[in-house]
Amino acid sequence: MSIKERAIETLDIEGKAVLALKDRIGDEFVAAVNCILKCPARVVVTGMGKSGHVGRKIAATLASTGTPSFFLHPAEAFHGDLGMVTENDVVIAISNSGESTEIVNILPIIRRIGATIIAMSGRRESQLGKFCDYFIDISVEREACPLGLAPTASTTATLAMGDAIAMALMSERNFTSQDFAMFHPGGALGRRLLLKVENVMHTGKDNPLIHCGKTVKDALFVMTDKGLGAVSVVDDEGKFVGLITDGIIRRALAKDYKFLDEAVEKIMFTEPLTIAPQQMAAAALSVMEKHKPRPVTVLPVIDEKGVPVGIVHLTDLLRQGVV
């Protein structure tokens, strides 16, 4: 068999193994998921060898999608780490054969502690299958390994079933993208979903402001000093009335220089795009990008009283990884 043929055969075998799991999603699977939903503590995932590697991933997926979970190495568990398991926990024990010595050895102690045991195994008649409270069948017809020895289709099926459990739990918990971001604050997704305009805007002395009675020349000085290419225009009460940008000034300069001594209110945008400080930074980016006929690079940040409390620039969003 050629390299290409072997690779295709492997994918065929593993694909069929995963699809075969659909027929195993029955009442016992639902009962196991409901058991986890009602669990007041943590889900403890354990497995040895390749099952352990898959178990670590399942535990990580559960934890990041709203189900408190951690991985417990069965060998370390037998030497003290079982102290991490409580009677309120749910233990997911993974063993394709259901006879892994390290798993079988800790089952009586877990039962004595009082934790609920969910077995993910390929053999219900195994010791693990007989000892558990809930059994989830992950058996496969054959491994993709040509020798039938290396765990291949069985580990893929286990991982897929773990994802099925996690996604079912996620759905039942009404887990949102905001919840997901809460557990991933350091990633790009977290920044997009958690970062607000008020977290990235220029405010205080860095917020370019000018009174509507001041001249365009004065506005140009403020714009140059702040380096943001725009200045928010306010009235006597400090309320936002418009925006003047370097683009407006450039277009006016193409005609003459007399406007420099005129009041900014005569050439400012009176209805520019703005955004509120509580809105998401990603929303600010969307507003900038969708402006027609061309995107804008700055947005005045206006509070509920109509006061320009800041200004956000495209480079601020780029720097924070919102893009």
Query: Model confidence over 142-165: pLDDT tens digits?
Result: 999 999 999 999 999 999 999 999
Given this structure, which CATH class describes domain 3-175?
A: alpha beta
Strand partners, 233: 210, 242
Domains 3-175 and 197-319 belong to one CATH topology? no
- CA proximity to 137, closest of 124, 156, 150: 124
Please name the amino acid found at residue 128: L
**Residue 186 in this model has a pLDDT that exceeds 80:** no
Query: 163-180 burial, b for 16+ CB within 10 Å, e for fewer?
Result: bbbbebbbeeeebeeebb
**Residue 318 in this model has a pLDDT that exceeds 90:** no
Q: Please report which residue ranges of the chain form alpha helices under DSSP H.
A: 3-20, 27-38, 50-64, 74-77, 101-113, 127-131, 153-172, 177-182, 188-194, 197-200, 216-226, 246-253, 281-290, 314-319
Residue 294, classed as helix, strand or coil, is coil
Residues 45-100 have pLDDT tens digits of 999 999 999 999 999 999 999 999 999 999 999 899 999 999 999 999 999 999 99
**Residue 321 in this model has a pLDDT that exceeds 90:** no
Domain coordinates in residue numbering, the chain = 3-175, 197-319
Which fold is adopted by the domain 197-319?
CBS-domain (3.10.580)
Whole-angstrom CA distances from 86 to 31, 39, 111 are: 21, 11, 10
Percent of the chain, pLDDT > 90? 81
Assigned token pair, 322 = 């919102």
- CA proximity to 307, closest of 232, 198, 246, 249: 232
**Residue 320 in this model has a pLDDT that exceeds 90:** no
Assigned token pair, 206 = 């860095």
Arithmetic mean of pLDDT, 108-125: 97
Assigned token pair, 110 = 């877990």
Distance from C-alpha of 130 to C-alpha of 44, rounded to nearest angstrom: 19
Arithmetic mean of pLDDT, 192-215: 91
- CA proximity to 40, closest of 2, 103, 87: 87
Taking all residues of the chain, what is their mean pLDDT, rounded to a whole number? 93
Q: Could you tell me the pTM of the whole model?
A: 0.70
The answer to whether 73 is annotated as binding is: yes
Query: If phi over 0 gives left and psi between -120 and 50 gives alpha, with beta otherwise, what is residue 67?
Result: beta
